[in-house]
Amino acid sequence: MTHLPISADLIAEQNDKRLEAVEEDYAALSRKLTRNGINISDVRQKVSDFSVAVPSWGTGRGGTRFAKFPIPGEPTNIHEKLEDCAVINQLSQATPRVSPHFPWDKVQDYSALRRDAEALGLGFDAINSNTFQDQPGQSHSYANGSLASTDAATRAQAVAHNIECIEIGKKLGATDLTVWVGDGTNFPGQQDLGRSLDRYLDAAAEIYAALPDDWRMLLEHKMFEPAFYSSVISDWGSSILAAQTLGEKCKCLIDLGHHAPNVNIEQIVARLHRFDKLGGFHFNDSKYGDDDLDSGSINPHQLFLVFNELVEAERNPRGGFSPSYMIDQSHNVTDPIESMMSSADAIVTAYSKALLVDRDALHAAQETNDVMLAFQTLRDAYKTDVSPLLAAVRADKGGAIDMIATYRASQYRERKSQERAAVGLGAGIV
């Protein structure tokens, strides 16, 4: 039996105040779309079916290497994190899965955790492994790398951790393993750039060999940080070459903050899809680097263009199309629940707008090289206010028309601040 954290009566009461306005705006949007030959019910169904996973680690206040400012009522363990994820899903109706990170998430009994999640209306998404930090009591340090380490015993330890993550994932009902490594160098000459990739590929092949038939291994590239001169899997080129070397079940994952400045990420989406290697996304936004800012807070147009390629890819599936979508953000100055709901909204907004693109008109303009018409076709969709559609979908599914206002009215965080232990201050000035 599901047991959701926010009272359904409160959501209904909050929605009642806003329903009339949503219906008016929805009717106007429906008329506008009908004039453009779009049936709003078709779009509504797709929007209703769309979902994005939330990261277990994003439910706590993040921080920087300078400081972390916790808030009262933050989750202190995986069970409390799940409860917060259930709030995000209950109000947004768009985030029914949680992506865990091991060993950050400490679990005694995986079957019990799975039951807990089910009772909260949640499932599990990709398992994230962690060989970018040392853990207390660990035999071999990752100071000089993990899967690409020059030390065979360290590589073996990193492989064993990833295989353990697959075993955990089986118990939780997951089918994807996301592998991001911090391996790389800070100095020219520190490591041989070719041999370090060889070592990575050999170790990754051992993980790949342990994947069940219905699992995928998602390689997440990142240009820099923690390594500042070279990273072993630095870009989508290294990522797709590694994925092609490893095999069919290995795909590439795009984290929006992991690229060189000004890289055309939507083109990377199209390229990876062309070669059946598009495995998934970590959504966030970026001003300077891997900032992990809220999705759509800096560049919502880029998010729209990414979804434009995704909708195009879905309609032209080539080898298949089933990317795994996840939010990967650090919430340093906001309540993480509010940030995650607002980000889910930005992501679904970008997806909905991409669904509104008149694809026939776009393709015709592209074929005839009518540059302005092609651009305006995208622009028309981007300019459409889809918020009444999203609000209607949420209300239909039991979610909140105004997620933030309803969350605040529920006083969830205030209640948790009474119930939960205080979180420590964390990282200080370095």
Positions that interact with ligand LRH (CB under 6 A): 128, 180, 220, 222, 255, 282, 290, 328
Smallest separation, CB 327 to ligand LRH (Å): 11
Residues 235-264 that bind Mn ion (CB under 5 A): 255
Nearer to Mn ion, 253 or 400 (CB): 253
User: Residue from 83, 266, 294, 328 that binds Mn ion (CB under 5 A)?
Assistant: 328
Distances (CA, A) of 141 to 9, 137, 207, 228: 52, 10, 19, 19
CB of 290 to Mn ion, least distance (A): 4
| Widest pairwise Cα distance in the chain | 66
CB-nearer residue toward ligand LRH: 56 or 157: 56
Per CB under 5 A, does 282 bind Mn ion? yes
Q: Compute the least distance from the CB of residue 145 to ligand LRH, in Å.
A: 15
Binding residues for Mn ion, rule CB under 5 A, total 4
Q: How far is the CB of 2 from ligand LRH (least distance, A)?
A: 29
Q: Which does 128 bind (CB under 5 to 8 A by kind): ligand LRH, Mn ion, none?
A: ligand LRH
> Which lies closer to Mn ion via its Cβ, residue 208 or residue 283?
283
Between 114 and 222, name the residue whose CB sits nearer to ligand LRH.
222
Nearest distance from C-beta of residue 404 to ligand LRH, angstroms: 25
Minimum separation from the CB atom of position 99 to ligand LRH (A):
9
Residue whose Cβ sits closest to ligand LRH: 180
Window 71-100: residues binding Mn ion (CB under 5 A) = none
CA distance 386 to 296: 15
CB of 374 to ligand LRH, least distance (A): 34
Compare residues 33 and 346 and give the one whose CB is closer to Mn ion.
346
Contact pick of 176, 290, 335, 345 for Mn ion (by CB under 5 A): 290
Q: Which is nearer to Mn ion, 101 or 282 (CB)?
A: 282
Handedness of CA 218, 221, 222, 227 (dihedral sign): positive
Q: Which does 48 bind (CB under 5 to 8 A by kind): ligand LRH, Mn ion, none?
A: none
Q: Give the binding site for Mn ion (CB under 5 A).
A: 255, 282, 290, 328
